[in-house]
Amino acid sequence: MRPPSVDSLARSLASTGLPHPLLVDVARAAIAAGDPESAELGARQLSRRLLRPVINGTGVLLHTNLGRAPYPFADPGSYANLEFDLATGERGSRQAHAGLLLARLCGAEKAMVVNNCAAAVLLVLAALADGENVAVSRGELVEIGGGFRIPDVMERSGANLVEVGTTNRTRRADFAAVADRVAMIMKIHQSNYRIVGFTEAVEVADLVDLGVPVVADIGSGLVDAACPWLPGGPPGWLDGEPAARQTIEAGADLVLFSGDKLLGGPQAGIIAGSAELVDRCAAHPLARALRPGGLVLGALQELTLNYLHRDIDSLPFWSLATIPVEDLRVRAEALGVGRPVALMSVPGGGTLPGVEIPSAGVALDGDHAAALRAVDPRPIIARVREGITELDLRTVDPADDPTVADALQSFG
């Protein structure tokens, strides 16, 4: 039997919603394989490889594979004063908008934005310590996802690593012993691991009188330990997490943190603190290569304004993270499918290692993860443990509960 033409087969796949040139590629591949009937499956598989919204039922609030913090931002699609000073009519700075607000939010003299926190670390080291020594505790020489290692970044920046202390215990005296031969002391958030037992670490406040600039990479993006945007104050699971405002108040010259973790916004890296040091970073040639675009800066501006308004309803991460567990139990019962169960969520995203947050959801016997991922148009991402599929409602927007219920009906 003669195979169909590439064009006709491609046109028969129009209901998939893919552009015709992509459907031509799919049709050509299916015909070349001698299986034209597989073209529709190929088109749907291609469609599923494209970015699309998903429902996060894993209980991991900052799920790196799912984009970390959920934050809605609609760009008006118009020109904007990204680098234009409306007062003078001359060229302005793209750091004058979100950067100004972020500085106000965390109590810094000045702030600037780059494309992620790794970029912030690289830029600070390159701008302030190229060819110079930088002291870091051995207990903070971290490697995080994707093979990002502090020693490697230091080498690429041109700074020279000076290790102090031991893996489990570092004291102020260890830093004091090298203060006369280093250009910077850097404290690094331990991200996704924790050292427990016979340990000792040095706080920022104990380092500021050594006569050396202190830079704190707090990573996780908590801007204020008091959480004034939360009506009930900070939740207990935040205890001990370093925050930008308090780190600056303790005397840090610069603080570095992520935009897409506990800050709850888009992927970005924030450098905040001394105006002189921020200006030196902004003037470095790498700053242009590492700068974010207008979409990220617009989202960060909107996010920061919501913080300053203390509008919890406009901060999706915090809305999800602080839902009372009893409300989650009620939602689990209301789904009417599966067994309501007690669960434990985690912050995720390399923040608060070992911390769990009481939660609730539903469980189904058997492994239904693949079938839930195939739900169209909003795939549902669940977790499977010991042959049981669990869907944690802490990471599910309540508005998505009807979608979840409809999807689970076929398994219930």
Average pLDDT (354-382) is 95
Q: What is the CATH number of the domain that holds 404?
A: 3.90.1150.180
Average pLDDT (262-283) is 97
Domain match, 349 and 210 both: no
Average pLDDT, the chain: 94
Q: According to the model, what pLDDT value does residue 410 have?
A: 81
Alpha-helical segments (H) within 93-198: 98-106, 117-129, 150-157, 172-176
Q: What is the CATH number of the domain that holds 196?
A: 3.40.640.10
What is the SS3 assignment for 206-245?
Answer: HCHHHCCCEEEEEECCCCCCCCCCCCCCCCHHHCCCCCHH
Q: Distance between CA 354 and CA 336 in Å, rounded? A: 32
Domain match, 339 and 375 both: yes
pLDDT higher than threshold 90 for residue 74: no
Domain match, 103 and 206 both: yes
Domain boundary among 295, 314, 333: 314
Rg (CA), the chain: 25
Q: According to the model, what pLDDT value does residue 75 have?
A: 84
Domain match, 111 and 125 both: yes
Domain boundary among 271, 286, 314: 314
Domain match, 149 and 215 both: yes
Check: CB of residue 184 under 8 Å from CB of residue 162. no
Full residue range of the structural domain in which residue 41 is found: 6-49
Domain match, 169 and 215 both: yes
Asked if residue 219 belongs to a domain, the reply is yes
Q: Distance between CA 257 and CA 127 in Å, rounded? A: 17
Q: According to the model, what pLDDT value does residue 192 have?
A: 66
Q: Please write the tens of the pLDDT for every residue from 304-351.
A: 999 999 999 999 999 999 999 999 999 999 999 999 999 999 999 888
Buried residues in 299-315 as b, exposed as e (16+ CB within 10 A): bbbbbbebbeeeebebb
Q: According to the model, what pLDDT value does residue 190 have?
A: 76
Q: According to the model, what pLDDT value does residue 146 have?
A: 65
Cα–Cα distance list, 252 to 112, 185, 208, 387 (Å): 16, 10, 7, 49
Asked if residue 93 belongs to a domain, the reply is no
Point out which residues pair with 135 in neighbouring strands: 162, 185
Domain match, 229 and 364 both: no
Nearest of 293, 274, 298, 269 to residue 98 by alpha carbon: 298
Average pLDDT (245-269) is 97
pLDDT band at 211 (very low <50, low <70, confident <90, very high): very high
Check: CB of residue 383 under 8 Å from CB of residue 58. yes
Asked if residue 272 belongs to a domain, the reply is yes
Cα 177 to its chain centre, rounded Å, is 36
Asked if residue 81 belongs to a domain, the reply is no
Q: According to the model, what pLDDT value does residue 1 have?
A: 66
Asked if residue 76 belongs to a domain, the reply is no
pLDDT band at 149 (very low <50, low <70, confident <90, very high): confident
Q: Distance between CA 62 and CA 317 in Å, rounded? A: 8
Asked if residue 286 belongs to a domain, the reply is yes
> Does residue 42 sit in helix, strand or coil?
helix
Domain match, 60 and 174 both: no
Q: Please write the tens of the pLDDT for every residue from 85-142.
A: 999 999 999 999 999 999 999 999 999 999 999 999 999 999 999 999 999 999 888 8
Domain match, 347 and 293 both: no
Average pLDDT (188-192) is 77
Asked if residue 161 belongs to a domain, the reply is yes
Domain match, 129 and 180 both: yes
Instruction: Tally the domains of the chain.
Output: 3
Nearest of 109, 87, 111 to residue 97 by alpha carbon: 111
Domain match, 159 and 223 both: yes
Phi and psi, residue 90, nearest 5°: -110, 175
Q: According to the model, what pLDDT value does residue 131 have?
A: 95
pLDDT higher than threshold 70 for residue 276: yes
Domain boundary among 297, 314, 331: 314
Cα–Cα distance list, 352 to 182, 192, 242 (Å): 30, 7, 10
Q: Distance between CA 121 and CA 216 in Å, rounded? A: 10
Greater confidence (252 vs 2) lies with 252
Q: Tokens 């602080």 identify what position?
A: 322
Can you say whether the dihedral through the CA atoms of 375, 376, 380, 381 is positive or negative? positive
Q: Please write the tens of the pLDDT for every residue from 30-55.
A: 999 999 999 999 999 999 999 999 99
Average pLDDT (144-167) is 86
The type of residue at 49 is R
Cα–Cα distance list, 139 to 117, 188, 196, 248 (Å): 19, 9, 11, 22
The angle at the Cα of 295, spanning 291 to 299, to the nearest 5 degrees, equals 105
Domain match, 30 and 163 both: no
pLDDT band at 412 (very low <50, low <70, confident <90, very high): low
Asked if residue 12 belongs to a domain, the reply is yes
Name which of 150-159, 243-252, 328-337 the model is least confident about: 150-159
